[in-house]
């Protein structure tokens, strides 16, 4: 009888262990596609009765309706050979259709940009064609066969998840909605710089520049560069 109990206990322990592993794998898969919060963020996210964590902007805005030094090559503005990439940051203003490069917190050059097909509101879910707002960091940078370069942002970050969860609690989006991802800064299909000139918001939520502009911007940046996106 004792042997039978020990055998049953081992079988139960094995079954519980397999179930636990399966649940962890399932959670990881759901996290990967944006249905649930990644393990690494669980303790950082506010779940209920949240106080707004709205962060003051990190950039002073240039004059409205102006592209600062746009006709001047960046190499004539900054000494690229001695450039400290840690001092570079970016401000993107959706209402101005403008991306501005800052060096040591001073604006040095602006570029025209366009956004997702619904450019007005903040991004709350996958598929809403909105460009997210907030303070992000560059996650990675790499050449792109269709859009010249891709500068990958760390959306969704903790603030993005809190907005997403709040929108679900408030009934703005369904509980089945995923948060989305793969948001970045990139160029346009070859020969389509006119999309920027016409302010055609053609992306699914990314920020798009003319290809010569993203090529000029790319060498200034690194993983960890701050990117602030505002309305």
pLDDT at 36: 61
- Residues 10-36: tens digit of each pLDDT: 676 666 656 556 555 555 555 544 556
Structure token digits, residue 28: 């990881």
Residue 166 in contact with residue 194, Cβ under 8 Å?
Answer: no
Asked whether the CA dihedral 95, 99, 105, 108 is positive or negative, the reply is: negative
171-185 average pLDDT score: 95
What secondary structure does DSSP assign to the chain, as a single string?
Answer: -HHHHHHHHHHHHHHHHHHHHHHHHHHHHHHHTTSS--GGGTTTS--SSPPP-PPPPSSPPPPTT--TTTTS-GGGTS-GGG--GGGEEEEEETTTTEEEEEETTEEEEEEE-B-BSS-SSPP-STTS-----EEEEEEEEEEETTTEEEEEE--S-HHHHHHHHHHHHTTSS-TT-------EEE--STT-THHHHTT---BSS-EE--HHHHHHHGGG--TT-EEEEE-
Strand 106-112 relative to strand 134-144, pairing: unpaired
Please list the residue range(s) of the chain that carry CATH number 2.40.440.10: 63-230
pLDDT at 91: 98
104-119 average pLDDT score: 95
Does residue 217 surpass a pLDDT of 80?
yes
Q: Which residues of 61-77 are buried (b: 16+ CB within 10 A; e: fewer)?
A: ebeeeebbbeeeebeee
What secondary structure does DSSP assign to 97-108, as a single string?
Answer: TEEEEEETTEEE
Does residue 6 surpass a pLDDT of 50?
yes
201-228 average pLDDT score: 97
6-20, 181-195, 216-230: least confident range: 6-20
Does residue 44 surpass a pLDDT of 70?
no
55-84 average pLDDT score: 91
Structure token digits, residue 178: 């995923």
- Residues 114-151: tens digit of each pLDDT: 999 988 899 999 999 999 999 999 999 999 999 999 99
Q: How many CB atoms lie within 10 A of CB 11?
A: 10
Does residue 55 surpass a pLDDT of 50?
yes
Does residue 38 surpass a pLDDT of 70?
no
Name the pTM for this structure: 0.82
Length of the chain in residues, anyone?
Answer: 231
- Using CA atoms, how far residue 215 sits from 22, 87, 198, in Å, is 45, 19, 20
42-68 average pLDDT score: 72
69-96 average pLDDT score: 96
211-221 average pLDDT score: 98
pLDDT at 57: 86
pLDDT above 90 as % of the chain: 71
18-32, 33-47, 84-98, 153-167: least confident range: 18-32
Adjacent-strand bridge partners of 135 = 228
Higher pLDDT, 39 or 175: 175
Architecture per CATH, 63-230: Beta Barrel (2.40)
């Amino acid at each position: 009888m004792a042997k039978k109990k020990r055998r049953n206990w081992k079988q139960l322990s094995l079954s519980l262990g397999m179930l636990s592993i399966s649940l962890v794998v399932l959670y990881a898969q759901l996290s990967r596609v944006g249905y649930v919060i990644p393990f690494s963020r669980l303790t950082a996210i506010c779940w209920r009765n949240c106080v707004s964590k709205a962060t003051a902007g990190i950039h002073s805005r240039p004059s409205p309706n102006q592209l600062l030094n746009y006709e001047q090559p960046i190499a004539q503005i900054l000494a690229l050979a001695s450039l400290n990439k840690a001092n570079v940051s970016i401000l993107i203003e959706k209402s101005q259709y403008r991306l501005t490069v800052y060096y040591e917190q001073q604006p040095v050059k602006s570029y025209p940009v366009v956004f997702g097909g619904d450019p007005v509101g903040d991004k709350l879910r996958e598929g809403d064609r909105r460009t997210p707002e907030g303070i992000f960091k560059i996650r990675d940078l790499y050449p792109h066969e269709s859009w010249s370069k891709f500068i990958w942002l760390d959306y969704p970050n903790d603030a993005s998840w809190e907005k997403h969860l709040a929108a679900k609690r408030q009934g703005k989006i369904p509980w089945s909605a995923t948060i989305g991802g793969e948001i970045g800064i990139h160029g346009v299909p070859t020969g389509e710089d006119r999309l920027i000139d016409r302010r055609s918001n053609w992306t699914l939520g990314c920020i798009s520049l003319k290809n010569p502009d993203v090529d000029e911007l790319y060498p200034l940046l690194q993983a960890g560069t701050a990117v602030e996106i505002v309305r």
